[in-house]
Amino acid sequence: SKTPVGFIGLGNMGTPMALNLLKGGYPIIATDVFPESGKQLQDHGAQILDTPAEVADKADRIITMLPSSPNVIEAYTGPNGVLRKVKKGSLLIDSSTIDPSVAKEMALASEKMGAVFMDAPVSGGVGAASLAKLTFMVGGPEEEFTAAKELLGCMGHNALYCGKVGAGQAAKICNNMLLAIGMIGTAETMNLGLRLGLDPKLLTQVLNMSSGRCWSSDTYNPVPGVMEGVPSANNYLGGFGTMLMAKDLGLAQSTATDTKTPIPLGSLAHQLYRTMCARGYANKDFSSIFQFLREEESQ
C-alpha cells in the first residue's frame, strides 16, 4: 500500500486535488488554517491535523496549495511550519502561484533541513482540478522530477519540467498575464458586440470559429447565459478569485520591473484587476471583469 501524502491548503483548488490523490490510493494527511475547509476531505477518509508541522511529522511527501507568498512562507518557515518537523529526504511540492524568489528561499531553507523543495504551480482552474486535468509547471532538481510526477499525475494530465527552482513560477506568471489580457479582451469584445445588437451566444460561436478564439471565449466565457458550468453562470462564484488574479499580475509587474521588460498590457490588466478589488469584486471569479465593464459604462 502507498505511504501517506501530506496536503496543506484545502481551498477551491486544494480540496479537489487532494480528493484525486485519495482516489489514486494515497492516504491523505491534511491541514488548513480554517478547520471547516477540511470537512469534505475528512468525509472521504482523509486525516485532518491542526498544523503543517504535524503533517510534516507524519508524511514525507507534502503538497501545498496556498493563496500567496506570505502564506507559503508561514506554512513552511512559521512557528508551526513544515520545516519545524520535516523528515530528512522529504519531497515538498508547492503548487501555489507565488513569487519565484520566495520559491528559491523556501528551497534553500528546505535544503538546510535535508529536504527537497520544488515549485509546481498549476493551470486549469477548479473544473480541471476536479477532473484531474491540471497542467503542472515544475521547477527544482531535475533528478527529483520523476518522483514528483508520480503524485502530480494523479491530479493532472501534463507536468512540464521548466528548469531549476522558481522556473515553474516564472512560466505560470507568464501564462496568467496572458490569461488576464485575454479575459479582459474577451469581456470588452463581448460587451461591444452586445451594444451593437449581437446575440452573445452567436457572437461566441463566431469568435470560436474565427481568429479571436481563446480560452476565455471557448472554455470560460465571461457573459452570463453563454455557457453552463462556468462561474459566469453562477453569479461569478467559485473559480479563480479576482484577488488572486490581481496578485499574479502584481508578480508579473514586479518580475518585469526587475528584468526591465516592457509589459504595457500586463500593467494595464494589473491596474484593472486592482481597481476591481477595491470596488467589491475581490472574491468574485476574475471573469466578472465583464460585469465590471458593464457597470463602468452605465455611469
Catalytic residues: 172
Q: In 21-31, which positions are buried (b, 16+ CB within 10 angstroms) versus exposed (e)?
A: bbeeebbbbbb
Selection from 247, 249, 232 nearest residue 284 by Cα: 232
Secondary element (H or E) of residue 13: none
Draw the binding track, 239-268, toward ligand NAD (x: CB under 6 A; -: no contact): xx---x---x--------------------
Helix (H) and strand (E) counts in the chain: 13, 9
Enumerate residues 77-96 that contact ligand NAD by CB under 6 A.
96
Enumerate residues 44-63 that contact ligand NAD by CB under 6 A.
52
Identified binder of ligand NAD from the candidate list 13, 29, 56, 171, rule CB under 6 A:
13
The verdict on 65 binding ligand NAD (CB under 6 A) reads yes
Identified binder of ligand NAD from the candidate list 20, 22, 37, 251, rule CB under 6 A:
37
* Three-state DSSP state, 241: strand
- Are the beta carbons of 132 and 106 closer than 8 angstroms? no
Identified binder of ligand NAD from the candidate list 27, 67, 163, 224, rule CB under 6 A:
67
Draw the binding track, 106-125, toward ligand NAD (x: CB under 6 A; -: no contact): ----------------xx-x
Identified binder of ligand NAD from the candidate list 75, 226, 251, 252, rule CB under 6 A:
75
- Give the C-alpha separation, 223 to 211, whole Å: 19
- Interacting residue ranges for ligand NAD, rule: CB under 6 A: 8-14, 31-34, 37, 52, 65-68, 71, 74-75, 96-97, 122-123, 125-126, 239-240, 244, 248
